[in-house]
């Protein structure tokens, strides 16, 4: 088959899936198709502008960049034309025949099969070019790539295939021709188009032209939003811009717009979203920041422009202090970038500090991004102390989120350390026996439930001279602080015989048995020694399929005031019913495992022993 003939190509299965939903469900917000196509057109112009810097010979084909909208009421078509980079045959097959963008791939993963529900997901993920099929029965793309001679015509009615033919004498750039569905005729009306462009695409830095017959009219402001004065920009315009640069559908929680003048001049327009984007934890995720040099788009994938713990920040940085043809290597080396990075981090943290004064407002931020922000306690950064001030935590003594500074204010007399307990969720942490001695003394304990918590506690070990210590390693600290009410029950004075016996019974399941002050209600608990992995971290690593080279030692702790412990000590010293003692020790041990969130080795044996005790009690 030669290139001149029409070639029919099947869409990849994922594309057909997306198209099926896009075409058949009535999405009330279908007007976003225009924003997606204009955004693609603008990207294509940016790409050609950048290519010209590297291959100046392409310039004979380039003209002043613009995007043209041509409604044709006779043909029932709306055409979106750009004079950008264009596509060759491979581009058409690869970009318009597969799912390239991660948003669409993620969209497919979350499909439920219920069309109405799935359609609503489009709002969350965006489907880029395919949004055209919300309003069009069929779509024709005429395009020629800069630097090539052959143009191509791509046509599809959605369904499961598209065709490609060679096109005659096409100009460089791309025209997307939408054959509008009967119910989408509103997109032929100039008023509607003007309105949509103003709403969604006003900030696009190229002229967007509405062409009616011979009449051409520029219908956007065509000035990059960030170059305008703050006082000339409405909250709506900021929001629309945020949604467009971030491919987002929520409101920005924080909008930060400033011009830095000094050693390095740059303008920053940055946003913190309200909702976390779906791909926050994907390792290959691009940064959400676009870099411009003197209003010319350079890249939206600048390595290391933002520290990792601020990777949810999106927006635009524009500077005149870099050459237009700046290369990736240069971006990685130049001190200009590291100075800009320092500047934006400082501004962002200052702004977060201001917003933290309103607790309810700040909690919204923390709920969405705290889990990422806390990575700043772990990353090797200069501003770790500032980051620490902005972190919030759940604690054992109130329901409010608190800061380290709040914690210090809540510390008891003679309390030297900041204590924490980590585990899978708040509910199990709150009932963990390890907290008992602390609760009895009114000592607050940070309750840490995010995986990252296990890591930062190893690097951020001190806040303003106060050590951050696991409750399991509180050692004798509790002795120095009086309980709020006197502990009930006598303290078992001689426990040696009992601890020795428990060790014999549990054998190599554990490494040691010791008496603790930390338990007030439970008879027994399980810990790991200081400097070794916590049980929670071991579980996390196993769940992640990671190998654990050395399992931590397990230490059984007993409560010397608990009547059960007294009774066992008595029985051991009198050598009374050793089998019953062994059964009781196993039950207590299994209960300690359960309280810690561990699995018990032999649930059937546990149930049987417990059943026997219950029966003899009745």
When the beta carbons of 244 and 528 are compared against ligand ADP, the nearer one is 244
Alpha-carbon gap, residue 158 to 263, rounded angstroms: 53
The C-alpha torsion from 234 through 235 and 241 to 246, rounded to 10°, is 170
Alpha-carbon gap, residue 57 to 51, rounded angstroms: 10
Alpha-carbon gap, residue 572 to 241, rounded angstroms: 74
Smallest gap from residue 45 Cβ to ligand ADP (A): 9
Q: Percentages helix, strand, coil for the chain, rounded to the nearest 5? A: 45, 20, 35
* Pairing between β-strand 445-448 and β-strand 208-212 as defined by DSSP bridges: unpaired
* Pairing between β-strand 136-144 and β-strand 151-156 as defined by DSSP bridges: antiparallel
Is 429 among the residues that bind ligand ADP (CB under 6 A)? no
Smallest gap from residue 171 Cβ to ligand ADP (A): 13
Contact 296, 321 (CB under 8 A): no
Strands (E), 41-84: 67-72, 77-82
Smallest gap from residue 46 Cβ to ligand ADP (A): 10
Selected from 12, 17, 95, 275, the binder of ligand ADP by CB under 6 A is: 95
Smallest gap from residue 86 Cβ to ligand ADP (A): 6
Smallest gap from residue 143 Cβ to ligand ADP (A): 7
Q: Give backbone dihedrals phi and psi of 448, rounded to 5 degrees, phi first.
A: -110, 125
Contact 393, 370 (CB under 8 A): no
Candidate segments 93-101, 112-120, 403-411, 466-474, binder of ligand ADP by CB under 6 A: 93-101
When the beta carbons of 14 and 383 are compared against ligand ADP, the nearer one is 14
When the beta carbons of 85 and 505 are compared against ligand ADP, the nearer one is 85
Contact 180, 188 (CB under 8 A): yes
DSSP one-letter string for 24-36:
HS--TTTTHHHHH
Smallest gap from residue 599 Cβ to ligand ADP (A): 44
Question: Which of the residues 276 through 335 are near ligand ADP (CB under 6 A)?
Answer: none
Is 84 among the residues that bind ligand ADP (CB under 6 A)? yes
Instruction: List all residues 6 or more positions away from 138 whose beta carbon is below 8 Å from its beta carbon.
Output: 155, 156, 157, 158, 179
SS (H, E, C) 466-485: EEEEEHHHCCCHHHHCCCCC
Instruction: Please return the burial class of 472, using the count of CB atoms within 10 Å of its CB with bins 0-12, 13-18 and 19+.
Output: buried
Degrees (nearest 5) of the Cα angle 269, 271, 275?
Answer: 165
Is 38 among the residues that bind ligand ADP (CB under 6 A)? no
Contact 560, 514 (CB under 8 A): no
CA-to-CA separations, 473 to 418, 476, 520, in angstroms, rounded? 11, 9, 17
CA-to-CA separations, 196 to 134, 136, 286, 615, in angstroms, rounded? 16, 17, 28, 75
Selected from 129, 152, 420, 460, the binder of ligand ADP by CB under 6 A is: 129
Smallest gap from residue 99 Cβ to ligand ADP (A): 8
When the beta carbons of 85 and 443 are compared against ligand ADP, the nearer one is 85
When the beta carbons of 23 and 424 are compared against ligand ADP, the nearer one is 23
Candidate segments 38-46, 153-161, 300-308, 522-530, binder of ligand ADP by CB under 6 A: 38-46
Candidate segments 80-88, 257-265, 394-402, 510-518, binder of ligand ADP by CB under 6 A: 80-88
Candidate segments 18-26, 82-90, 252-260, 530-538, binder of ligand ADP by CB under 6 A: 82-90
Candidate segments 36-44, 116-124, 261-269, 470-478, binder of ligand ADP by CB under 6 A: 36-44
Smallest gap from residue 71 Cβ to ligand ADP (A): 18
Selected from 25, 83, 174, 520, the binder of ligand ADP by CB under 6 A is: 174
Candidate segments 78-86, 269-277, 314-322, 485-493, binder of ligand ADP by CB under 6 A: 78-86
When the beta carbons of 107 and 460 are compared against ligand ADP, the nearer one is 107
CA-to-CA separations, 130 to 96, 135, 293, 580, in angstroms, rounded? 8, 10, 31, 71
Smallest gap from residue 183 Cβ to ligand ADP (A): 23
Smallest gap from residue 206 Cβ to ligand ADP (A): 12
Is 125 among the residues that bind ligand ADP (CB under 6 A)? no
Smallest gap from residue 549 Cβ to ligand ADP (A): 43
Smallest gap from residue 40 Cβ to ligand ADP (A): 3
CA-to-CA separations, 49 to 52, 61, 293, 309, 489, in angstroms, rounded? 5, 11, 12, 32, 81
When the beta carbons of 130 and 463 are compared against ligand ADP, the nearer one is 130
Is 85 among the residues that bind ligand ADP (CB under 6 A)? yes
When the beta carbons of 316 and 495 are compared against ligand ADP, the nearer one is 316
Whose CB is nearest to ligand ADP?
128
- Among the listed residues 254, 237, 167, 147, the one whose alpha carbon sits nearest the alpha carbon of residue 197: 237
CA-to-CA separations, 87 to 148, 164, 593, in angstroms, rounded? 9, 12, 61
Binding mask 96-115 for ligand ADP (x = CB under 6 A): x---xx--------------
Is 87 among the residues that bind ligand ADP (CB under 6 A)? yes
Candidate segments 84-92, 267-275, 324-332, 556-564, binder of ligand ADP by CB under 6 A: 84-92
Binding residues for ligand ADP, how many (CB under 6 A)?
15
Smallest gap from residue 41 Cβ to ligand ADP (A): 5
Binding mask 493-532 for ligand ADP (x = CB under 6 A): ----------------------------------------
Alpha-carbon gap, residue 438 to 433, rounded angstroms: 10
Instruction: List all residues 6 or more positions away from 49 whose beta carbon is below 8 Å from its beta carbon.
Output: 62, 65, 296, 297
When the beta carbons of 97 and 343 are compared against ligand ADP, the nearer one is 97
Smallest gap from residue 276 Cβ to ligand ADP (A): 19
Alpha carbons within 13 angstroms on the beta-carbon side of residue 597 total 22
Smallest gap from residue 328 Cβ to ligand ADP (A): 19
Smallest gap from residue 315 Cβ to ligand ADP (A): 17
Is 352 among the residues that bind ligand ADP (CB under 6 A)? no
Strands (E), 277-344: 288-293, 296-299, 314-319
**Which residues share a beta bridge with 72?**
77
Selected from 41, 122, 225, 429, the binder of ligand ADP by CB under 6 A is: 41
Residues in touch with ligand ADP (CB under 6 A) = 36, 40-41, 44, 82, 84-85, 87, 95-96, 100-101, 128-129, 174
């Amino acid at each position: 088959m030669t290139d001149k003939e029409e070639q029919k190509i099947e869409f990849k299965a994922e594309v057909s899936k997306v198209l099926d939903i896009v075409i058949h469900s009535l999405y009330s917000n279908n007007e976003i198709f225009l924003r997606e196509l204009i955004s693609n057109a603008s990207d294509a112009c940016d790409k050609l502008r950048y290519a010209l810097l590297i291959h100046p010979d392409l310039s004979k084909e380039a003209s002043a960049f613009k995007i043209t909208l041509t409604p044709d009421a006779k043909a029932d078509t709306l055409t979106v034309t750009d004079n950008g980079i264009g596509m060759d045959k491979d581009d058409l097959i690869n970009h318009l025949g597969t799912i390239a963008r991660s948003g669409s791939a993620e969209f497919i993963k979350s499909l439920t099969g219920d069309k109405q529900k799935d359609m609503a997901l489009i709002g969350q993920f965006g489907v880029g070019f395919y949004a055209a099929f919300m309003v069009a029965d069929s779509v024709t793309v005429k395009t020629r790539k800069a630097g090539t001679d052959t143009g191509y015509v791509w046509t599809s009615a959605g369904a499961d295939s598209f065709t490609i033919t060679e096109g005659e004498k096409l100009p460089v750039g791309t025209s997307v021709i939408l054959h509008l569905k009967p119910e989408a005729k509103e997109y032929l009306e100039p008023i509607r188009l003007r309105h949509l462009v103003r709403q969604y695409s006003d900030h696009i830095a190229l002229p967007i032209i509405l062409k009616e017959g011979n009449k051409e009219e520029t219908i956007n402001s065509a000035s990059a939003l960030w170059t305008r004065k703050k006082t000339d920009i409405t909250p709506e315009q900021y929001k629309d811009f945020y949604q467009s640069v971030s491919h987002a559908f929520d409101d920005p929680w924080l909008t930060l717009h400033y011009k830095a003048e000094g050693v390095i001049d740059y303008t920053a327009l940055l946003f913190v979203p309200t909702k976390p984007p779906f791909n926050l934890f994907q390792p290959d995720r691009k940064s959400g920041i676009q870099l411009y040099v003197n209003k010319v788009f350079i890249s939206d994938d600048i390595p290391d422009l933002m520290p990792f713990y601020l990777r949810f920040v999106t927006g635009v940085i524009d500077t005149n202090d870099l050459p237009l043809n700046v290369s990736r290597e240069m971006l990685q080396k130049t001190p200009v970038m590291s100075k800009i990075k320092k500047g934006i981090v400082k501004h962002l943290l200052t702004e977060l500090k201001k917003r933290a004064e309103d607790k309810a407002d700040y909690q919204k931020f923390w709920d969405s991004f705290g889990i990422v922000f806390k990575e700043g306690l772990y990353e090797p950064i200069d501003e770790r102390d500032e980051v620490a001030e902005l972190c919030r935590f759940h604690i054992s003594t109130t329901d409010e989120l608190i800061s380290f500074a709040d914690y210090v204010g809540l510390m008891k007399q003679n309390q030297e350390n900041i204590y924490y307990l980590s585990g899978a969720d708040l509910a199990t942490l709150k009932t963990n026996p390890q907290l008992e001695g602390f609760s009895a003394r009114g000592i607050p304990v940070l309750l840490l439930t995010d995986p990252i918590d296990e890591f930062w506690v190893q690097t951020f070990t001190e806040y303003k001279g106060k050590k951050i210590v696991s409750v399991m390693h509180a050692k004798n600290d509790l002795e120095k602080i009086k309980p709020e009410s006197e502990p009930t029950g006598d303290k078992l004075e001689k426990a040696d015989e009992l601890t020795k016996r428990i060790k014999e019974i549990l054998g190599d399941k554990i490494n040691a048995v010791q008496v603790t002050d930390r338990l007030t209600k439970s008879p027994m608990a399980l810990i790991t020694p200081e400097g070794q992995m916590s049980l929670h971290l071991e579980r996390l690593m196993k769940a992640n399929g990671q190998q654990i080279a050395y399992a931590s030692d397990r230490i059984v702790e007993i409560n010397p005031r608990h009547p059960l412990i007294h009774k066992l000590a008595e029985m051991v010293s009198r050598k009374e019913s050793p089998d019953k003692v062994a059964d009781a020790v196993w039950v207590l041990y299994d209960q300690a495992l359960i309280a810690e969130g561990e699995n018990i080795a032999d649930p059937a044996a546990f149930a049987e022993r417990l059943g026997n005790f219950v029966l003899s009690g009745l």
